[in-house]
Structures are given as C-alpha cells and as structure tokens.
Amino acid sequence: MSGHVVVTGAATGIGAAVTERLLADGTHVIGLGLDGQEGRAQQSRAERDGLPYAFHDVDVTDEAAVRGVFSRITRLTGVVNCAGVYPRPQRLEDVSLADFRAVMNVNLTGTFLVCRAALPLLRTSGGGSIVNLASVHARSAAPGHGPYAASKAAIVGLTRQIAVDYAQDRIRANAVLAGSVDTRITREAIAAAGSPEALGLSYARTALGRIAESHEVAAVVAFLLGPDASFITAAEMVADAGLTARIL
C-alpha cells in the first residue's frame, strides 16, 4: 500500500506497530507524539533503512501545534489516531473533574483536532481513509473505567459522523474496537493494579485465550486504510479475540 499517512502516538505501542506495518507496505508516514526519544530513534532506524518516515514531537491536545504540523503537509491519504491514555480504575464518584477532563482531552479532543486538521488535506488529495483507535470499552463495561469508556464511545460516534459527513469527498472513516493488547500501557496498568484480574482483565474470557500482539491490531488498521476496504466506512471493526461475544 502506498500513500501518505499521519499516525498519532506513533512511537510506542499500537502506534509504533502501525507505523512499522505501513512503512513495510511502502507508505510515507508522518508520526506525531510526545515520546520524543522513541520517536527520534524510530526515525533514525527508518532513515538507515531508506524508509520514508518523519517524526514530529506534537501534543495532539494542542490546537496550534496540530494545525502547525498539518500546515506543512502537502499530500495526505490517511490518518490513524492511536494517541491515548489509559487511567487507573476508579469508581466514578472518586474520579476528579481534572482527571476526567485529562482523559477526554487526549483520547477524544486529540482525535477531533487531528481529524479536523486532516480533512481538508484528504479532500484535496482526492479522498482517503481515517482510522480511529477506540476500544471494546465503547461497547462493554469493566469496573472502574468510566472516563476511558466514555472517551472511546465518543470516538466511535465521532468516527461515524465523519464517515457520513465526508463520504461525498471520498473520505472513509472507521473505528477499531480493540481488546487488550500487549503494550507498555497495558503492562504498566497491570503492574499498578497487581494482576490482570484486578484491572478487570481475564484473558481466559477471550475465545482465543490470549490478548493481542500490537502487530495484529496494526494489520486491521492497514486493511482499513487500504483499497481492499474501499466499501467499508462508518464501521466498528472489533478486534478482541471474541471477548465481547461471550456472556460468561
């Protein structure tokens, strides 16, 4: 797959896996994120291998910074919003307004700002694809994840609206509802909680009996960006090893 794609949260976790997959497929990638050290190392590896990649240290919640980086992009065929935060579990009455706003700011507002800045470029490029990383929390509840679930459900709604409003511009928009993925954020959250079960995770509840590797989610993203998904828009692509298909 060729093209020019912006990936947020590009230096770590699912974003890094998406970046690696797209570069391997011959895509020009512009990575955005706050993990500057990892991002620069990522760019150095790409340059060494002759791959078209540039990383920009950008806070996706900073409207001026987002507009600034997109103002320097001349062609765009895709956007992948991976940047996000995963707070520690708390019952809703224990969540401060500041903590709630922090989660919504990164997960939802950051996605909104990036999509808004990208849409004119996608239109002038003749169309393209937006893929937003949501979560199974958008559909199903686990104890103590109110702000996170709210942010991911809102991302699904925003994605659907973009798909409807911009279909005439040949812009598709889809959300990936991922289950648990073996990333640094997941591992740190499990360590803080003491066990997967304490975090509300039970890998045995998935039909496949395991969580995802980040490259498996990246493969779903690459499909949605590519021509084989040309008839798919406003979709909620679930990649959760069958977790939400089970009652018990």
- The tokens of 102 are what? 């922090």
- Over residues 234-240, the mean pLDDT reads 95
Token reading at 11: 């230096």
Q: Are 1 and 74 in contact (CB under 8 A)?
A: no
Query: Where is average pLDDT lowest: 43-57, 118-132, 199-213?
Result: 199-213
Give tens-digit pLDDT for 157-186: 999 999 999 999 999 999 999 988 877 777
Residue 79's nearest CA partner among 23, 117, 25, 41 is 117
Q: Is residue 186 part of a domain?
A: yes
* 248 falls within a domain: no
Domains held by the chain: number? 1
Cα separation, 175 vs 52, whole angstroms: 26
- Is 224 contained in some domain? yes
Identify whether the C-beta of residue 181 lies closer than 8 Å to the C-beta of residue 212.
Answer: yes
Domain with residue 233: its CATH number is 3.40.50.720
CB proximity list for 133: less than 8 A, separation 6 or greater: 14, 80, 81, 82, 84, 155, 175, 176, 178, 217, 221
196 in a domain, yes or no? Answer: yes
Active site residues: 148
Edge-to-edge order in the sheet of strand 171-178? 53-57, 28-33, 4-8, 78-81, 128-133, 171-178, 236-239
What is the structure's pLDDT at 197? 66
pLDDT digit string, tens, across residues 11-54: 999 999 999 999 999 999 999 999 878 889 999 999 999 999 99
Domain-located, residue 117: yes
Question: Which of the given ranges, 137-146, 207-216, 230-239, has the highest pLDDT on average?
Answer: 230-239
Asked whether the beta carbons of 33 and 80 are under 8 A apart, the reply is no
Domain that holds residue 180: 4-242
The strand pairing partners of 140, in sequence order, are none
Question: Is position 247 within any domain?
Answer: no
Q: What's the whole-number mean pLDDT along residues 86-115?
A: 96
Assign residue 194 a region (left: φ > 0; alpha: ψ between -120 and 50; beta: otherwise). Answer: left
